């Protein structure tokens, strides 16, 4: 028996999230079908996260256990040959049998992309939020700084009923601006349901002066979803990186 750690990327536009569902097409369903065909045995895959309908991934990890002796490069080439164009296998490696893509993950980085211009960008219709105003970068960066650290993020969770704790640690939160593009990069040890989308929506409300940057500590302390801002649309969100060692997670941070 082998355990394969596989990195993949996908465009989530046509899928109802990652996790298999009985009534909708998901990324997991498509991957399991193609992986099973290449391995010549029925398999289930274990994903590192659940992504919502329309959310994308630049790097998503899953592991799969198999009796096949296929070479890793053969796995990559074979599965990519079966997959549709909006899902790609990036790499494959053998790992210990007890490796678990979700439970062994040390941290994740998400990005949220916005196209800030009155005119839409025809090349990013399903890949960036079209925001028809000028985005206040300075106010958003001031607000974003309050999220860094260990906090109770209950105010930024759409459904907290299935988690034991709503406390999470954000290691870094950067906002980049180039032309009409605004990209938020958030790295942390874990994220709640819709957490990044609510944070992004709250920063949009900050930009529109509906919320002051200095209100963020009080919103966090309230532990009340109604105190935070809107939920930004899913198609601007990407799971950007997943980390399986602290060295990789904190590379370049000086920690």
121 three-state secondary structure: coil
Query: Strands 107-116 and 129-131, how do they pair?
Result: parallel
Cα separation, 236 vs 232, in Å, equals: 8
- Which residue range forms the structural domain that includes residue 175? 107-248
**CA-based end-to-end distance of the chain:** 37
User: Are 68 and 141 within one domain?
Assistant: no
Instruction: Output DSSP code: residue 49.
Output: -
Rounded Cα–Cα distance for residues 132 and 148 (Å): 28
Q: What is the pLDDT of residues 98-156, one digit of tens each?
A: 999 999 999 999 999 999 999 999 999 999 999 999 999 999 999 999 999 999 999 99
56 plus 152 within the same structural domain: no
> H helices of 56-181, where?
72-82, 137-145
pLDDT of 220? 98
The partner residues of 67 in beta bridges, in order of sequence, read none
Q: Is residue 36 located within the same domain as residue 131?
A: no
What CATH number does the domain containing 52 carry? Answer: 3.30.70.580
> Both 128 and 244 in a single domain?
yes
Catalytic (active-site) positions = 52
Predicted local confidence at residue 159, as pLDDT: 87
Say whether both 62 and 85 belong to one domain. yes
88-122: buried (b, 16+ CB within 10 Å) or exposed (e) per residue?
A: ebeebeebeeebebeebbebbbbbbbbbbbeeeee
Query: Long-range contacts made by residues 244-249, C-beta under 8 angstroms, separation at least 24?
Result: 244/61, 244/104, 244/105, 244/106, 245/106, 246/106, 248/106, 249/106, 249/107, 249/171, 249/187
**Does one domain contain both 81 and 116?**
no
pLDDT on residue 254: 53
Residues 172 and 91 in one domain: no
Confidence (pLDDT) at 249: 86
Q: What is the dihedral of CA 212, 217, 223, 224, to 10 degrees?
A: -10
170 and 199 assigned to the same domain: yes
pTM, full prediction:
0.94
Give pLDDT, residue 253. 62
How many domains does the chain divide into?
2
User: What is the per-residue pLDDT across 189-243, written as a single tens digit (0 to 9) for each?
Assistant: 999 999 999 999 999 999 999 999 999 999 999 999 999 999 999 999 999 999 9
Task: Tell me the mean pLDDT in the region 44-63.
Answer: 95
Nearest residue to 202 (alpha-carbon basis) of 250, 157, 150, 149: 157
Q: Indicate the pLDDT class of residue 255, thresholds 50, 70 and 90.
A: low
């Amino acid at each position: 028996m082998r355990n394969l750690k596989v990195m993949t990327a996908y465009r989530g536009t046509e899928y109802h999230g990652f996790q298999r569902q009985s009534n909708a097409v998901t990324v997991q369903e498509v991957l399991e079908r193609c992986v099973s065909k290449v391995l010549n045995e029925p398999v289930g895959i274990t994903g590192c996260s659940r992504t919502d309908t329309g959310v994308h991934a630049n790097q998503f990890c899953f592991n799969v256990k198999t009796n096949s002796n296929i070479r890793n490069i053969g796995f990559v080439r074979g599965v990519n040959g079966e997959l549709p164009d909006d899902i790609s296998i990036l790499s494959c490696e053998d790992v210990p049998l007890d490796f678990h893509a979700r439970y062994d993950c040390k941290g994740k980085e998400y990005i949220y992309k916005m196209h800030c211009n009155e005119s839409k960008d025809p090349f990013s219709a399903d890949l960036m939020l079209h925001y028809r105003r000028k985005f206040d970068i300075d106010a958003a960066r001031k607000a974003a700084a309050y999220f860094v650290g260990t906090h109770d993020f209950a105010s930024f969770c759409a459904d907290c009923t299935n988690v034991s704790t709503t406390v999470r640690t954000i290691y870094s939160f950067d906002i980049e601006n180039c032309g009409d593009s605004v990209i938020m990069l958030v790295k942390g040890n874990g994220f709640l349901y819709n957490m990044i989308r609510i944070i992004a929506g709250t920063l949009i409300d900050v930009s529109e002066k509906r919320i002051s940057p200095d209100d963020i500590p009080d919103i966090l302390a309230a532990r009340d979803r109604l105190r935070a801002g809107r939920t930004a649309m899913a198609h601007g969100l990407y799971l950007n990186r997943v980390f399986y060692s602290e060295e990789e997670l904190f590379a370049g941070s000086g920690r």
